[in-house]
Amino acid sequence: MKSEKKLPVFTLGVEEEYQIIDPETRDLRSHMSKIVEGGKIHLREQVKAEMHQSVVEVGTNICQNVAEARKEVSFLRNQVGELAARQDLKVGSAGTHPFSKWQDQQITDDERYHHIVNELKDIARSNLIFGLHVHVGIEDRQTALQIMNQACYFLPHIYALSANSPFWEGRDTGFKAFRAKVFAKFPRTGLPEYFDSVQSYDNYLETLVKTKCIDNPKKIWWDLRMHPFFSTIEFRICDVCLTVDETICITALIQAVVAKLYKLMMSNTGFNIYRIALIRENKFRAARYGLDGQMIDFGKKEEVPTKDLIMELLDFIDDVVDELGSREEVNYVHEILKNGTGADQQLKVYEETQDLTKVVDYITSKFQKGI
C-alpha cells in the first residue's frame, strides 16, 4: 500500500496586543514608549508601538510548531511584564479595557499613525482594541488563496472560543466579543470576500492602490487575509486571550484547520465554500453569545449549539493534530468549554463584585499565568 504523504511544515507567527495598566486607577496608561524602548535591547523588532500609546504589540519569531510558539509567547509575556513592572505598571490581555475611554488616550507620534488618523478621524481614534493575529506559513499563493476561501467557514467557531471583550467604556455591552464591533467602523474589515484566483485578488489590490483608497496592501484589515509581504495567511478575527494556554490553543486550532484543508486539497477532496453572507450570520452569533449561543449548520440548514459545532471541528481536524504535534494544545479547547472564555470569566467577576476595577485586576492576574 502507498504510504500517505507527510504534511509540509506549517510555520507559525503569533502577534498579541497588550494593555498597559496603571496599578492605582486600573485605567489604561499612555506609557507604551517606555516599554518599547526598554524592550529594544532584548526583543529588537519583537516589541512594537501601536496607534494608541496604551497598547503594546509583540510578535514571535517564525516558529516551526506550536511548542516553539508557546515558548516564544511565554517569553514575550514575561519580558513585557518585567519591563512594565520596572515602570510601576501592569499589563493585561483582553480585547477591550473594561472602562477606559478612547478620548483620554494619546496617539503614538508616528507618521503612519498620523496618516491613518488624518484619513479616518474618530474611527481611528476610537479604535482602542486588542487583538490576536496568527500567521500560518504557506509558500504557494494559489494554495494560500484556496485555503483562505475555505477557512472562512471556521472563523466564527474560532472567534467564539477567543471571545474576551464584553465591556466597553464602563458598560456591559451584552456581547461576549465587542471588539470586532468597534473595529467594524474601519473600511476593509470583516470577513473577506471569495476570490477565484490570485490574479483577481491582485487586481483588486492594484485597483485600490491605483485609485488611492490605500497606499499599501497592509491596509486590508480583514478577519483573514493573505499577507501582502510574507508567505502566510493571517487570521486576525480573534480577541487577544487572557492566558498563554488560550492563545496557544487558538493557534494550534488555526494551524490544524489549515493543515486539514491542505490535506483535503491534496487528495482532490474539496471543502464546501459557503457564502460570506451566511458566515457573517455565524460571526454575529459568536460575537453576541460566545460559546453559549447557537450557530447555523449550513449543511443541515438548522441551528445547532455552538459547543456542538466546536466538537465537530475537533473531529474534523483530529487526523492532523498528532502529525502537527499539537494534540495537547488542541485538547485545551475542553478546558475553555468547561471554564468559559475570557469574556465569561470577566463577566463572572463583575457579577460577583459589581466592580470593574476588580475585573481589571483579574485580567492582569492572568497575564503571566501558566508560564
Query: What are the DSSP calls for 259-295, one per residue?
Result: HHHHHHHHTT-PPP---HHHHHHHHHHHHHHTTSSEE
Q: What is the pLDDT of residue 108?
A: 83
Q: How confident is the model at residue 326 (pLDDT cuts 50, 70, 90)?
A: very high
Percent of the chain at pLDDT exceeding 90: 80
The cell for 212 is 488611492
Q: What is the pLDDT of residue 2?
A: 43
Q: What is the pLDDT of residue 4?
A: 65
Q: Please provide the CATH number assigned to the domain covering 12-364.
A: 3.30.590.20
Q: What is the pLDDT of residue 53?
A: 86
Q: Check whether 176 has a pLDDT greater than 80.
A: yes
The cell for 365 is 492576574
Distance CA 339, CA 335 (A): 6
94-118: pLDDT as tens digits = 999 999 999 988 888 888 888 888 9
Who wins on pLDDT, 87 or 191? 191
Q: How confident is the model at residue 307 (pLDDT cuts 50, 70, 90)?
A: very high
Q: How confident is the model at residue 40 (pLDDT cuts 50, 70, 90)?
A: low
Average pLDDT on 36-41 reads: 70
Average pLDDT on 146-173 reads: 98
DSSP bridge partners of 297: 302
Considering only 51-60, 274-283, 340-349, which range has the smallest mean pLDDT?
51-60
Distance CA 155, CA 309 (A): 12
The DSSP string of 43-63 is HGGGEEE-SBTTEEEEE---B
Who wins on pLDDT, 83 or 330? 330
The cell 467564539 sits on which residue? 160
Q: Check whether 207 has a pLDDT greater than 80.
A: yes
Average pLDDT on 29-43 reads: 73
Q: How confident is the model at residue 3 (pLDDT cuts 50, 70, 90)?
A: very low
Average pLDDT, the chain: 94
Q: What is the residue extent of each domain of the chain?
A: 12-364
Among the listed residues 212, 275, 241, 228, the one whose alpha carbon sits nearest the alpha carbon of residue 130: 241
CA distance to 17, 55, 95, per residue, from 39 (Å): 15, 14, 23
Average pLDDT on 262-282 reads: 92
Q: What is the pLDDT of residue 252?
A: 98
SS3 178: coil
Q: Report CA dihedral (299, 304, 307, 310) to the nearest 10 degrees.
A: 0
CA distance to 37, 209, 303, per residue, from 51 (Å): 16, 22, 39
